[in-house]
Structure 1
């Protein structure tokens, strides 16, 4: 498979091992990492067995549709009541164009579509001590245009200062001021920001004599107090820059396509109890339909989340066990909310994208498909850490009320248009019990290398054991590294 330079281990051109040996690889978990490992190893001639505790593949790469049911570790149970054709991705929902995920979609024939990550017509909304802009929603384009304009005005005025003479020539300063006029929408020789049509119109241009009427810009002071400028990065970070994509019809299209390629290798309903190293090789004890079974292999690739792996009987080294105990594997929660009318499109002219807020719901997501349809499913919250832990202790009904009571501050139509919801709290999803890991810099230099180092014939491969925590690309790339390592060892033996 062809992929961009630097993205994971390169597998293209590796020779099959069929004529040399027929090594068996035990793969624990049929999420993206486990399925990828089985798929790539199979192409190289390895015999693989994938043990998956659930009855479906994909791990967190899940899509919720009508009739889907989840019973959480807390005992709370939900059955999805979305209309046919409506769906929601409670785990990964998007990927940037530079991720290796794109290459697998191409190879597997998974149809993709643009994911609208940034929509300047969506809203910022804040409450609390944020000045005059509190308690009101504000179009993203208005806030961005005004704040950039005022900032450009300041810089343009500073550019006349003699202190810049040591850094910039006279022609450089002229070019800088010219750039700031275009970038900030400044006017006149005084380098002032007085508003710009990039922020939109109070009355939009139209036919006849309707040339358009600009609204007054926000005051610089109130923009600074609002803190909305601190949200600009949410669509500027390298992971979220345009263009982003998503599989057409749901994120589970990717694991389903992978699972189809290795369907004769997967044992569903297989819950791992023990992982032992046999020096060489590995032995795994698992339960199917209440009966213990045992299987051995030449290698083992473990993708089981650390929250569960910590509880299993293993003979991992004390160093690896200690490292697993401190993996910063955090929780996350999402809710999909079906509305009987796409009011965000009809009333607010928002087609895809996200609205950001300092309310505890964090973000509101608008669907990137089904435009102009009658109904739709919005993302009512996307939260991490303590807030998601708090939601995990709530019932599904309480989570829905949490989403409604906060979201209606941004969209007053919520209550009247709401039909049903389905929430997922990853810390309480059986066999997963967590979402993603982001390692602090200190851990990246100390414990992280120990986590990804193989122990004999045992490899850990998952997005939580990568630099792409939470992204499918992290799982793809971790699996590819394990595959290449196993192939090299086999060919050298």
Structure 2
């Protein structure tokens, strides 16, 4: 779920995972890219003040940086921080929190044999393999197959690698950057961390290690010391007497603790767990209402994902929740750029797939590149395209009935992000770290807390219905609405405002959504068929793994699909 893109693809809470937001953002009047990568920065006047160069320039060895003493020192600080985690800011979605060991034990099986460093066993002669998409899963598959001696060609529609792992840089001043896609790496995602180590990248804690957060609820603002609940006596909250007694920090345990305990006690099986099938037929919101949770409790816990299946939430809670989240120093897309640099002769950028056809002996793709039509034949294929994109591509012969249903009905959550650049990080002067919790389905981050310079960035990360609404707005309207919110959180924002930009994964033509979310009933009708091969076509992507919405899911599925082909199952 995320963290996706996502997908994960975290909420505005230090030292806590946040479910599906890992891949976890432009609107229709201004597309998210000049056919591909473009973002526009709006000045205080509302006028665009520039367009960034192609990010392909960043796919160089300059992204490969050394791991040194700083990383060890940081890790030590974070470990100490994790030991002291607690309180409201950690507990906002406590039902998504487990110990690191509990999360690891549940997902040990899918990771066995998938760590980097070993090559997949090849059976028979080398194969010619095409991969659709140079996102994380496509790159992971390409590296595996290339290492095993196969002939690999990756077709990527954009002019950059990474897919929904994408860092915005050019719109901002002084070398500042912020994530448009995947934002966090849980400490338990060992496969992701193995790739980070393999490409000699450094990590920083995702959340600031000091400073207070802001809690904004129904127009009332509190500055809350880290690790503390807001003072409910001074907030207009619609909670029951019992809910007030436990506070926001106790809501997760009250309503979802028993489900966590039951799921945690089960053996490590591949999801979905048959014994929990009933949870897949009810939404999170309906379950909470059955438990007589108040509207504010539901809003606080679900953060816009009320229609998500209960099993999907429990799934995340027992597999993705950790006391520590990381980000890659310099931007998370340094990982896909480093991976792509090792595959530079195997990637065709600007290749937009129009048709897929297979016979008993090969697979053929028709694609366009710079206005010209091309054909590519291969022995097998790995398709990493989001199903929201794949469903619009002609395929012959037609998918099997179950696969076609999964492709047509897989749901990617809409996500938008709005970024405001400020002259200074004025909030830090008052002891605030820039992060906030609000009464809307969104998170508020300050990604520049550990970046050099005096300027800062405050950004919103919006989910589901609110994200869909934002995606339909003009960029100027979205910026103004975001600034209104940021001003409530950090008074003085408009006085310090220099410019803004937005991102919408829903409006991006090559994603049409941010990360996979499972709806009630789909653990029976969709999930079992996400990763199943169709003849010579194999499938990868965050949606086709136990870690939907996270970089780990993309990596895991890419390696898995590559090894299916390498072992002769194509």
- With the length of structure 2 as denominator, give the TM-score of the two structures: 0.64
C-alpha separation in 2, matches of 1:233 and 1:126: 13
Determine the structure 1 residue equivalent to 2:456: 376
Determine the structure 2 residue equivalent to 1:53: 157
- Residues 1:453 and 2:543 aligned together: no
Q: 1:33 to 1:139 in 2, by over 3 A?
A: same
C-alpha separation in 2, matches of 1:416 and 1:231: 33
C-alpha separation in 1, matches of 2:490 and 2:433: 14
Q: 1:7 to 1:342 in 2, by over 3 A?
A: farther
**CA apart distance, 1:458:** 0.5
Determine the structure 1 residue equivalent to 2:222: 137
Equivalences for residues 57-72 of structure 1 within 5 A: 57-66=161-170
Could you say what the CA RMSD is over the residues aligned between the two structures, in angstroms? 3.1
Deviates more, 1:138-147 or 1:414-423: 138-147
Determine the structure 2 residue equivalent to 1:294: 375
Determine the structure 1 residue equivalent to 2:560: 481
**CA apart distance, 1:296:** 0.9
After superposition, give the CA deviation of every residue in 1:49-71 in whole Å (9 maximum; x if it has no partner): 000011111111111112xxxxx
SS state at 1:280 partner = coil
C-alpha separation in 1, matches of 2:533 and 2:490: 50
- Residues 1:333 and 2:416 aligned together: yes
Determine the structure 2 residue equivalent to 1:318: 401
After superposition, give the CA deviation of every residue in 1:18-67 in whole Å (9 maximum; x if it has no partner): x941201110010101111101111111111000011111111111112x
Q: 1:259 to 1:225 in 2, by over 3 A?
A: closer
**Of the candidates 125, 128, 138, which is equivalent to residue 21 of structure 1?**
125
**CA apart distance, 1:120:** 7.2
SS state at 2:109 partner = coil
Unaligned runs of 5+ in 1: 67-79, 128-133, 156-223
- Residues 1:41 and 2:145 aligned together: yes
Determine the structure 1 residue equivalent to 2:432: 350
Contact kept in structure 1, 2:406 and 2:525, CA below 8 Å: no
Contact kept in structure 1, 2:119 and 2:147, CA below 8 Å: no
Q: 1:273 to 1:34 in 2, by over 3 A?
A: same
Determine the structure 2 residue equivalent to 1:6: 109
Contact kept in structure 2, 1:110 and 1:257, CA below 8 Å: no
After superposition, give the CA deviation of every residue in 1:369-408 in whole Å (9 maximum; x if it has no partner): 43673111121x1111121111111111111101011221
**Of the candidates 263, 277, 301, which is equivalent to residue 358 of structure 2?**
277
**Of the candidates 471, 481, 486, which is equivalent to residue 392 of structure 1?**
471
Q: 1:358 to 1:119 in 2, by over 3 A?
A: farther
Determine the structure 1 residue equivalent to 2:255: none
Determine the structure 2 residue equivalent to 1:176: none
Determine the structure 2 residue equivalent to 1:90: 180
Determine the structure 2 residue equivalent to 1:260: 341
Deviates more, 1:465-474 or 1:49-58: 465-474
Determine the structure 2 residue equivalent to 1:124: 215
Contact kept in structure 2, 1:25 and 1:298, CA below 8 Å: yes
C-alpha separation in 1, matches of 2:299 and 2:385: 39
Q: 1:408 to 1:239 in 2, by over 3 A?
A: farther
SS state at 1:427 partner = coil
**Of the candidates 251, 265, 268, which is equivalent to residue 332 of structure 2?**
251
**Of the candidates 505, 510, 528, which is equivalent to residue 426 of structure 1?**
505
**CA apart distance, 1:282:** 1.0
Larger Rg: 1
**CA apart distance, 1:245:** 0.7
SS state at 1:489 partner = coil
C-alpha separation in 1, matches of 2:499 and 2:120: 52
SS state at 2:530 partner = helix
**CA apart distance, 1:145:** 7.9
**CA apart distance, 1:144:** 2.1
- Residues 1:105 and 2:188 aligned together: no
After superposition, give the CA deviation of every residue in 1:344-381 in whole Å (9 maximum; x if it has no partner): 2112x1236x3111146x221022643673111121x1
C-alpha separation in 2, matches of 1:454 and 1:232: 34
Aligned residues: 393
Q: 1:13 to 1:340 in 2, by over 3 A?
A: closer
C-alpha separation in 2, matches of 1:139 and 1:227: 19
Q: 1:321 to 1:228 in 2, by over 3 A?
A: closer
After superposition, give the CA deviation of every residue in 1:219-266 in whole Å (9 maximum; x if it has no partner): xxxxx99759946999x9563533211111111101101001111100
SS state at 2:381 partner = strand
C-alpha separation in 1, matches of 2:295 and 2:394: 53
**Of the candidates 423, 436, 446, which is equivalent to residue 515 of structure 2?**
436
Determine the structure 2 residue equivalent to 1:401: 480
SS state at 1:287 partner = strand
C-alpha separation in 2, matches of 1:278 and 1:118: 56
Determine the structure 2 residue equivalent to 1:365: 445
Determine the structure 1 residue equivalent to 2:323: 242
**CA apart distance, 1:323:** 1.6
